């Protein structure tokens, strides 16, 4: 076993990486409010795991979506628990993200030299809100349907391009199968991929620049 470890150590310097992770200086002013970003990340990972589990049963069609969610909640083994955890974690993720943004702003974490960290964080906040909008539509119930109809109808007030933009969002003039397909693709593939990319930009910057100072 030691020979295998030595082989990897010689090529990857595992011990140096471990030392860098475990010996990072933590400022004395850091408290529980500085953990909000990490809690948001944890919620995202829970979302990925539970969301992936539900894709085995969910059917993204206007005729079967609601029935498939009912099946998950009433017949699939532990389906009720997985979907409930997904919903609770989604609410927690949004709440923790909002509190994290306020904490960073109040402690000046957006100032030089952390401007890029702030920008990537704002993008992640927008992506988090987008998760909420797209995920809300997937059960295809009355609340989800009308929420999506209202949200996608807002850009119609934009002069000249408003109607075109609404049709681009919905996939057609009205909320239907094209809308559900687009929102499902966004929710399960595009948004998770973009979130992972921006997280991989966000966290190394925090590691490099360290935690911002106290108030």
pLDDT mean over 130-136: 95
- Domain annotation covers residue 142: yes
For the chain, how many structural domains are there in total? 1
Distance, in Å, from the CA atom of 137 to the CA atom of 115, rounded to the nearest integer, reads: 34
Confidence of residue 215 (pLDDT cuts 50, 70, 90): low
Residues contacting 159, CB < 8 A, separation 6+: none
- Boundaries of domain holding 34: 30-209
User: What backbone torsions phi and psi does residue 118 show, to the nearest 5 degrees?
Assistant: -65, -45
Look at residue 1 in the predicted model and tell me its pLDDT. 78
Tokens of 95: 């709440």
- Look at residues 109, 99, 100, 93 and name the one whose alpha carbon lies nearest to residue 191: 93
For the cut 90, the answer to whether the pLDDT of residue 170 exceeds it is: yes
Q: What are the pLDDT digits (tens) for 17-68? A: 888 778 777 788 889 999 999 999 999 999 999 999 999 999 999 999 999 9
Q: What is the mean pLDDT of residues 180-200?
A: 97
In whole angstroms, give the CA distance from residue 57 to residue 165.
32
Does residue 213 have a pLDDT over 80?
no
Asked whether residue 4 is assigned to any structural domain, the reply reads no
Half-sphere exposure of 202 (CA within 13 A, CB side): 20
Does this model's pTM top 0.75? yes
Mean pLDDT of 74-103: 97
**CATH code of the domain covering residue 139:** 1.20.810.10
Residue 29 annotated as binding site: no
In a domain, 65, yes or no: yes
Residue ranges of alpha helices (H) inside the chain are: 2-12, 14-22, 36-54, 65-74, 79-106, 115-137, 142-153, 162-170, 177-185, 191-209
Confidence class for position 91, pLDDT limits 50, 70, 90: very high
Tokens of 111: 């100032």
139: in domain: yes
Which residues are CB-contacts of 204 (< 8 A; sequence separation ≥ 6)?
none
């Amino acid at each position: 076993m030691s020979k295998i470890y030595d082989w990897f150590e010689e090529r990857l310097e595992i011990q140096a990486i471990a030392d860098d992770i475990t010996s990072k200086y933590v400022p004395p002013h850091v408290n529980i409010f500085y953990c909000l970003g990490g809690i948001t990340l944890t919620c995202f990972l829970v979302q990925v795991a539970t969301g992936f589990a539900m894709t085995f049963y969910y059917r993204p069609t206007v005729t079967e979506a609601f029935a498939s969610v009912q099946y998950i909640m009433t017949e699939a083994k532990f389906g009720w628990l997985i979907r409930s955890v997904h919903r609770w974690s989604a609410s927690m993720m949004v709440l923790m993200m909002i509190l994290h943004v306020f904490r960073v702003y109040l402690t000046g974490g957006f100032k030089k030299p952390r401007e890029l960290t702030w920008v990537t964080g704002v993008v992640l906040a927008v992506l988090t809100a987008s998760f909420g909008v797209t995920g809300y539509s997937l059960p295809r119930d009355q609340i989800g349907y009308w929420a999506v109809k209202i949200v996608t109808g807002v850009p119609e007030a934009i002069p000249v391009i408003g109607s075109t933009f609404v049709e681009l969002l919905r996939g057609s003039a009205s909320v239907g199968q094209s809308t559900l397909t687009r929102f499902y693709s966004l929710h399960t593939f595009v948004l998770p991929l973009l979130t992972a990319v921006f997280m991989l930009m966000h966290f190394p910057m925090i590691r490099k620049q360290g935690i911002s100072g106290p108030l």
